[in-house]
Amino acid sequence: MTPAAASAFQVSAAQAARRPAVQVAVVMRRERINNRWQPWRWSLAEVVPHEAAFGEQPRLLFKSDDEERWLHPDFLVELFRDDAEGYHLNVTTQAPCWFVLWRMEEEASLADEPMPRPVMVSLSYHDAGRWLDAQETVEQVSAPAHVVEWMRAFVAEHYVIEPKKRQRPVSFQPLQDRFGNPAAVSTQKKFGGGSDG
């Protein structure tokens, strides 16, 4: 990790010994919209370095008539060697980003109404794809340059492009029709076409 990244993110020594990781906090934004059935909308605002002063519980950062911002602290984002391709796909886009999976509360626990709770944060395209396939709510926000460089260094060290293997012809598999039933090939005509003279 670069010195800039190390100073911006805090990770315990024990955690750093296991795998590269950073601690982050997620800021969710509630904004007023012009819709009579749904006057408010929640969205991901930003992902910031976690600080010990944030504590462990979500808290209101800002509130006005048109907007609220809530801080959700202490998420660990780890880089796994077996997911190097997922980071490669992220770092090679025009705008590398954080991916945040969040869910709405069923019952209000922090405010008067239910609010979104971030569940996981990742830098992997594969994680985001799996979450979306599971029909979770996933949003993204740009990752800062020092995090992108940290991720790029990890990819350079661990990502190996696997050569494409030539697909061998399947020569001895039994033929099947489109319904999966055994099929045969014949060179004899089935219908009409000539007379035995």
The domain limits of the chain are: 3-158
Q: Give the whole-angstrom CA distance, residue 98 versus residue 90.
A: 9
Q: Give mean pLDDT, residues 161-190.
A: 65
C-beta separation of 180 from 174 below 8 A: no
**Residue 161, SS3?**
coil
> How do beta strands 116-122 and 97-104 pair?
antiparallel
> How do beta strands 137-142 and 97-104 pair?
antiparallel
Stated pTM of the model? 0.74
Tokens of 100: 């945040």
Single out the residue of 20, 14, 11 nearest to residue 152, CA to CA: 20
Q: Give mean pLDDT, residues 181-193.
A: 62
Question: With 90 as the cut, is the pLDDT of residue 188 above it?
Answer: no
Assign residue 145 a region (left: φ > 0; alpha: ψ between -120 and 50; beta: otherwise): alpha
Q: Give the whole-angstrom CA distance, residue 144 versus residue 69.
A: 20
Provide the pLDDT confidence category of residue 12 given band limits of 50, 70 and 90: very low
Q: Give mean pLDDT, residues 78-101.
A: 96
Most confident of 39-48, 116-125, 169-178: 116-125
Buried b (16+ CB within 10 A) or exposed e, 71-110: bbbebebebbeebbbbbbbbbeeeebbbbbbbeeeeeeee
**Residue 26, SS3?**
strand
